[in-house]
Chain A
Amino acid sequence: MTNQFSLRHTQVLDRAAILEVYRAESFRLALRITGNPTVAEDVVQIAFLRLLQAPELPIVLPELIKYVRRTVTNCSIDFLNRQRPQVELSESLPNTENPVLDFEVRQALSQLSVEHQAILALAHGEGYSYREIAETLDIPIGTVGSRLNHARAEFKKIWEAGE
């Protein structure tokens, strides 16, 4: 019994150490989807907890990265879905080179569906290929192009209406 516990404990520690390598990338991904550093930190914590407990966590590198990305993306989407419609943009301007413009862009993005926000972040923010987006969002590759076009068109409509 003791041996079993210590083995599981070691496995968790190993996983934690491995996942730490992906913390920065995961934070970046969550930040681009949610647009809020505090939320992104929470999302990464939740995602890493899920990953630590995931019975089927892959141990081979490319699969592990894909799994981490998918979990972080899902957690970001879950978080935004749970917050809606109460989600409020932070009252202060973002700390970027162009805070006013970024505030306006974020406002326009927040009017999109969470799925559209996510796909724009993956395509324009992370620069993922269609295949990577399909794997991350767990959708057919054929759906990526059409969803991306819809998301861009929707964003454009909102943006131009606000100009």
Chain B
Amino acid sequence: MKNRDINRLLTDHYDRLIYPPQPLKSEKTRSKIMALFARKQLTVPAHKAEIKP
């Protein structure tokens, strides 16, 4: 393995430590949005809800 590959391996490792993936985040956001829709606290603007031919 070349030195630059080792450097890249280390740098990427330290970056991933700090920015772990958050797979549940979008799921959580989606559920939150759906809950707001269900409670009618969030509505789709009329012009966007219209189905245009």
Contacts and interface: CB of A to CB of B under 8 A. Distances in A.
Interface of A: 28, 31-32, 35, 94-98, 101-102, 105-106, 120-121, 124-126, 152, 155-156, 159-160, 163
B16 A102 contact: yes
24 contacts: A28-B18, A31-B18, A32-B17, A32-B18, A35-B17, A94-B17, A95-B20, A95-B21, A96-B17, A96-B21, A98-B16, A102-B13, A102-B17, A105-B10, A124-B11, A125-B10, A125-B11, A125-B18, A152-B6, A152-B10, A156-B1, A159-B1, A159-B6, A160-B1
Given A32-B14, A159-B1, A97 B9 contact: no
A114 to B, nearest CB: 16
A101 to B, nearest CB: 7
Q: Is the interface of B mostly helix, strand, loop or mixed?
A: helix
B7 interface: yes
B18 A101 contact: no
A106 B9 CA distance: 11
Interface residues of B, number: 15
Nearest to B9: A105
A100 B6 CA distance: 17
Contacts of B21: 95-97
Contact of A105 (B1, B7, B13, B20): B13
B3 interface: yes
B10 to A, nearest CB: 4
Given A94-B20, A96-B21, A101 B13 contact: yes
